Amino acid sequence: MAAAVALVACGGGKEGGATQVAAKVNKEEISVHQINFVLQRQPNLKPEQAQAASKRVLEGLVDQELAVQQAVEQKLDRDPRTVMAIEAARREILSRAYMDKLTGGVEKPTDAEISQFYASRPALFSQRRVYSLVEFNIEAGGDKAQKEALAAQFNGVKGADALAAQLRAAGVKFAARPSTVPAESVPTALLGKLSTMGEGQAMSNVTPVGINVLVLNAAKSAPVSEAQAKAAITSFLVNDKKRKLAVDEMKRLREAAKIEYLGQFSGGVASANVSASAAEEPASLLPAAAAASEALDATDLQKGLSGLK
């Protein structure tokens, strides 16, 4: 990336000397810095791709500048919605810049920390498995206690086919969705239970509209060594340190600030309601992504596997 940016900054080696202006659109200039800013946000850009990429970026910036000029001409920059959007973007950029500066000095974990993390999560690494699952969303009425009593019966089912047959025989409406997921894509709380289940076993969860049942069809062993997982663990631990640092800083700033809630919010944030909402069990036992604050990021882990399937 550094080489790519340097290539654009020096004008790609063309004659006539370097210039910081890449194009003029009517009376407005587009600078090389603007191009480099966009290029830096494109991952895995190779030096030999920089020239073509910079030209594509420049054309995009030309189109953007033309649209901006028309918006200003039509006084859209004074529209209340536009002003509010610009202010919201400004606040987001500034708050992110502060957090980036705050967490920029976080040190990488030591080898001992990495080894401890690896050893403490065998289901993710040394005993890692790839799970073949079938998720059932079953319609069910009644109160929570009635649903829980019914859900308990499903926990003893022997396989997805048996459960489907049982539901059809009872005339119960349901939807079944098969999936294959590696351990790192399973939420931490669920992975602990899933890793101890045998093939054909099931677990259930009551939802607002019925019951969710997860049946384990098969589990294929796919262990990951500490060396293979080192990059992923390092990334996770660094991000976790940053998250904790940001949380502590927000707590400090809140305690030091004078915060007054007004109008309909005069009673303050309904922390009890927020906590109750956060504590509710998910509608699905197998959400699309694992909880980022507790589970090792699936993308990070895959990057650390060096192509291992």
This prediction's pTM: 0.66
Residue 98 pLDDT level (bands cut at 50, 70, 90):
very high
Q: What percent of the chain has pLDDT over 70?
A: 80
Tell me, what's the pLDDT at 2? Answer: 53
- Is the distance from CB of 106 to CB of 245 less than 8 angstroms? yes
Long-range contacts, stretch 98-101, CB < 8 angstroms, 24+ apart: 99/246, 99/249
User: 44 vs 39, 56, 207, 238, 298, CA distance in Å?
Assistant: 10, 16, 42, 21, 19
23-78 pLDDT, tens digit each: 999 999 999 999 999 998 887 888 888 889 999 999 999 999 999 999 999 999 99
